[in-house]
Amino acid sequence: MGQHLSSAFAVGEHSLTWWAVSLLVVALSAKITIGFINGYRTRKLMPPHPPGLPLLGNIFQLPQFQWHRFTEWKAQYGDLFSLNFAGTPVIVVNSIEVANDLYDKRSTIYSDRPPFIMAGEILTGGIFIAFSKYGDLWRKLRRAAHEGFNVRACEDYQPLQEKESARLVHHMLEEPQEWDNHLKRSAASTVLCATYGWIPLGKEGDPLVERINELMHRLVRASLPGAYLVEIFPIMKHLPTWMAKWKREGLEWYRKDSVLFKQFLEDVGKKKEEGTISPCFGLTLIEDEKKYALNRLESAWLAGTMFGAGAETTAAALSVFMLAMTLYPETMRKAQAQIDTVVGRDRMPTFADRDNLALYHEIHRWRPVGPMGLPRRTMKDDWYNGYFIPAGTLVIANVWAMNRDPKHFPDFEEFRPERYLDADGQLVDPIAGTHMQGHVTYGFGRRICIGMNLANQALFIDIASLLWAATIEKAIDADGKPIIPSRTDCVDEGLVVRPVPFECVVKPRGGNVMPLVEQTMH
């Protein structure tokens, strides 16, 4: 009897699978056909677009590093062009001016997200701020994050950032060949201290950091076009878990990550009761829980998000700094001379010395670690410069092209921090539409990067401290010739795009450096 039941179930399961595949094929064909018919009517009114395949459009014309293809198309189709992703309309924004017009001046239309079903609903329970729809929950999360990381709030983290920068320098000079790992550890340590009040990480780091980084990579992979069929057929999210392995595994990851983030926040609460917690974002969330109208799970995920998004992006930006200093030694020497004039050689830099160091602006512009932001979605029909942009259109910001616009940066390929300074060496007024940054790497409008202020502080003090303490040079090969790292090759690590690994030499600037560094650490 059991054998017959088993056989019957196997046949039924096979039939169910066959019918499911058949229905998906029919639904896909219908979706593409309807999208093609509707798209044909509106595409004539939309911005210019490259030719594509029948029905499928341009979806198979994009390489791994899509921003390069978008920049090529910008030269042909202009600052705003459209695409067709298998019936879904897409526009690509390629200039700061257009981005300012759409994302900032029309933010009520261009602040929504597409329905990231796997990444935004299943893997993160609908409470991950980066994927949240533009609505009440997003506003509550945004308000809490803004108050925790605005300019004034981030000033509380400056003392810990000064000590962490000294610790970074110490590790870099002790083990210069491990410089990239030191950057990653230091960035993670800073954000953990600011978010949860942790003590600084040792050189070995912490396995929990890798766990959170894996979560962020998992979310980025899940948000890529075509990663999961449920993004094409939203009805699939209602399938029972026994039929959908992807859903079953995604919900299990959400459960595990929720436990981890709630534990982090509970630890902050325990330290608060013991009186052993330093000012941190997690403490703010707990103390003002009623004010923000967030439950404990939402607060836990918000804090975890701030760490996950902040650590890797800061480390990647610092790796761009190392590349720039290796390739542009004269620029490094000029910056060192400026720091020596302001700081001297008897102490390390502090935030009181924060004046006109344009290097970190140029780092973000020259090689943005996020060359494309997460796509937005229009909330209603819109017209712009005579072009129709229908509701539900995906909107992609080509940050790479904007930061290299020859109208604003004529020699965009060169790393030249002085572009941000006037004849007297003072910072010039930033480009309009860049939120006082002089670049657009932090994003636009109401969804501009929440951790921008903390990241800018970290970059300033880390760069100033490294330049004060060390000289960065090209490595030498076995034949005595300098090893020149690639200016352009990069690796996509899911959350960030950073330079490919390269060798360089880090040397102390004088014999009194290490004692002063050790003194600053403690």
Each residue's pLDDT tens digit, 105-123: 999 999 999 989 999 999 9
Q: How far is CA 517 from the centre of its chain?
A: 31
pLDDT band at 60 (very low <50, low <70, confident <90, very high): confident
Q: Read off the pLDDT band of 428 (50, 70, 90).
A: confident
pLDDT bucket at 9, cuts 50 / 70 / 90: very low
- Whole-number pLDDT of residue 310: 85
CA distance 468 to 497: 27
**What mean pLDDT do residues 369-380 have?**
93
Q: Is residue 449 a known part of a binding site? A: yes
Chain mean position to CA 341: 34
230 vs 483: which has the higher pLDDT: 483
Distance CA 411, CA 145 (A): 37
Contact 268, 277 (CB under 8 A): yes
Flag whether pLDDT at 15 surpasses 50. Answer: no
Q: How many residues does the chain have?
A: 522
Residue 10: inside a domain = no
Binned at pLDDT 50, 70 and 90, residue 11 comes out as very low
**In the prediction, which pLDDT does 142 show?**
96
Q: Which of 199-208, 250-259, 381-390, 414-423 shows the lowest per-residue confidence on average (mean pLDDT)?
A: 199-208
The pLDDT value recorded for residue 39 is: 59
Query: Is pLDDT of 284 > 50?
Result: yes
Report the percentage of the chain scoring pLDDT > 90: 71
The mean pLDDT value of the chain amounts to 89
Whether 18 is covered by a domain: the verdict is no
Calculate mean pLDDT across residues 5-10: 32
Tell me the residue type at 91. I
pTM of the model: 0.89
User: Which one of 38-52, 113-127, 213-227, 350-364 scores highest in mean pLDDT?
Assistant: 113-127
Q: Is residue 113 part of a domain?
A: yes
**Residue at 49 is within a domain:** yes
E runs forming strands in 336-428: 376-377, 382-384, 387-389, 394-397
**pLDDT tens digits, 465-503:** 999 999 999 999 999 999 999 999 999 877 789 999 999
**CATH number, residue 247:** 1.10.630.10
Structural domains counted in the chain:
1
Write out the residue range of the structural domain in which residue 110 sits.
45-521
pLDDT, residue 10, reads 33
Q: Is the pLDDT of residue 30 over 70?
A: no
139-154 pLDDT, tens digit per residue, is 999 999 999 999 999 9
pLDDT band at 55 (very low <50, low <70, confident <90, very high): confident
Cβ-contact 444, 99 below 8 angstroms: yes
What gap in Å lies between CA 101 and CA 154, rounded to an integer?
A: 29
Spatial CA neighbour of 113 closest among 373, 375, 396, 298:
375
| Whether pLDDT at 441 is above 50 | yes
Those residues whose C-beta lies under 8 Å from the C-beta of residue 96, and which sit 6 or more positions away, are: 402, 405, 408, 431, 432, 433, 434, 440
**Extended strands (E) in 10-159:** 80-85, 88-93
Query: Looking at residue 171, what DSSP letter applies?
Result: H
Mean pLDDT of 35-51: 77
Q: Would you state the pLDDT for residue 38?
A: 60
Query: Rounded to whole angstroms, how far apart are CA atoms 191 and 483?
Result: 33
- 522 against 368, higher pLDDT: 368
pLDDT value for 13:
36
pLDDT higher than 90, residue 157: yes
Token representation of residue 58: 């341009």
Position 28 in a domain: no
Single out the residue of 78, 87, 110 nearest to residue 37, CA to CA.
Answer: 87
Question: Residue 6: what pLDDT?
Answer: 33
- Residue 114 gets which letter from DSSP? -
Q: What does the pLDDT read at residue 201? A: 82
Determine, yes or no, domain membership for 58. Answer: yes
Asked, for residue 30, whether it belongs to a domain, the answer is no
Confidence of residue 207 (pLDDT cuts 50, 70, 90): confident
**pLDDT number for residue 471:** 97
User: Does a structural domain hold residue 39?
Assistant: no
pLDDT surpassing 80 at residue 404: yes
